[in-house]
Amino acid sequence: MEQGLAQSRSILADAGNVAVLSGAGISAESGVPTYRGAGGIWEGFSAAELASAEGFARDPAKVWGWHNQRRMQLAAIKFNAGHKALADLEAQVVARGGTFTLATQNIDGLHQAAGSQNVLELHGTILAIRCSTCTDKRHIGFEPVDDEIPRCRECGAYMRPDIVWFGEQLPADVWEAAAKAAYECDVFMTIGTSAVVYPAAGLIEMAAGTGAKTIEVNLQRTAASGLVNISLQGKAGEILPQLVDLT
Ligand code: BV8
Ligand code: ZN
């Protein structure tokens, strides 16, 4: 592990264009439950029922209530040293004329809270709601909204969380920016993701295919571990600060 850390530090110290894919694992140390594995969200709830357009159509109030509950649980949660390290790394890379793109699958807003600037929310955000029919969208942050599912001010249809559910397309502009960053980067990091959800996980393959240097940070081996140059096993909140030279 020591060797991997030293190698990763020197790779990042010279990196020009950095792209990062993050997943639920980077928020785990803040107390946000992950999806898969022990204690994960999908252990207690059915993704088909609660994180799909069909589930929403079948029982909008139930899906709305569940997302509201998750959002209010996030209100008390703070970003951790892993989020902060990525924001520091971005500042360093940009200060020396490089580019830094953070494509996150997370919907918790913690990267932005930690100071990350260029964040692409591939799966949307739980801090906004949008109309299930027209394009009306509203940032709600952590303001409590009652469990009565709100109607759109423009067209009267149900509002819904501004999240990408299974079977739904990612926002085209966000996806294009993430794919571009994966193709153009010289260093790619995959952090805290099981790398099983597509098209997000495909970013790792895209970067590896271009010959970019690839680094994984995860508690354990994942579907991507065989693809990357360096696999650092451990907690993101402990490893990432060691990769960022806080000179
Ligand atoms: C689409 C909603 C099509 C928001 C989410 C069969 C084969 C292949 C693909 C498919 C298939 N059937 C269907 C598909 C497509 C599907 C998909 O990929 N399914 C997978 C599950 C097989 N994808 C989709 O449906 C996507 N849309 O394909 O559209 C289309 C095409 C054209 C036209 C129309 C439609 C939409 C995907 C988005 C789905 N939405 N969530 C929400 O409620 O959060 S996905 C859900 O999984 C979350 O967004 C989450 O971010 C994402 C990925 O999970 P991870 O973040 O990786 O979290 P996980 O718990 O899995 O892993 C945590 C990791 O952290 C672990 O590895 C753990 O070891 C590590 N860890 C834990 N603690 C730490 C740590 N690491 C470091 N430090 C720690 N402390
Ligand atoms: Zn509307």
**Nearest residue CA, atom 53 of ligand 1?**
197
Contact 164, 121 (CB under 8 A): no
Mean pLDDT, residues 203-230: 97
**Site residues for ligand 1, CB cut-off 6 Å:** 23-25, 28-29, 34-37, 40, 51, 105-107, 123, 163-169, 192-194, 196-198, 217-220, 222, 235-236
Asked whether residue 86 falls in the same domain as residue 141, the answer is no
pLDDT, position 212: 98
Short-list 9, 30, 52, 240, CA closest to 163 = 52
pLDDT, position 246: 62
Mean pLDDT, residues 199-221: 98
The pTM score is 0.96
Asked whether residue 66 falls in the same domain as residue 86, the answer is no
- Nearest ligand 1 atom to alpha carbon 70: 43
Q: Which alpha helices (DSSP H) does the chain contain, by range?
A: 2-14, 25-28, 41-44, 47-50, 53-58, 60-74, 81-95, 110-113, 172-184, 202-209, 236-243
41-50, 110-119, 121-130, 207-216: which has the minimum mean pLDDT? 41-50
Q: Is residue 154 part of a domain?
A: yes
Mean pLDDT, residues 173-192: 98
Domain range for 192 is: 2-32+78-123+170-244
Q: Is residue 39 part of a domain?
A: no
Q: Is residue 38 part of a domain?
A: no
Asked whether residue 138 falls in the same domain as residue 198, the answer is no
pLDDT at 245 over 80: no
CATH number at residue 111: 3.40.50.1220
pLDDT in tens, 114-141: 999 999 999 999 999 999 999 999 999 9
pLDDT, position 111: 98
pLDDT in tens, 56-106: 999 999 999 999 999 999 999 999 999 999 999 999 999 999 999 999 999
Asked whether residue 136 falls in the same domain as residue 183, the answer is no
Q: Is residue 199 part of a domain?
A: yes
Asked whether residue 240 falls in the same domain as residue 182, the answer is yes
Asked whether residue 147 falls in the same domain as residue 26, the answer is no
- Nearest ligand 1 atom to alpha carbon 50: 43
Short-list 157, 163, 166, 169, CA closest to 132 = 157
Mutate to test the pocket of ligand 1, among 198, 225, 233 (most ligand atoms within 8 A of CB): 198
Point out the domain boundary residue: 108, 142, 163.
163
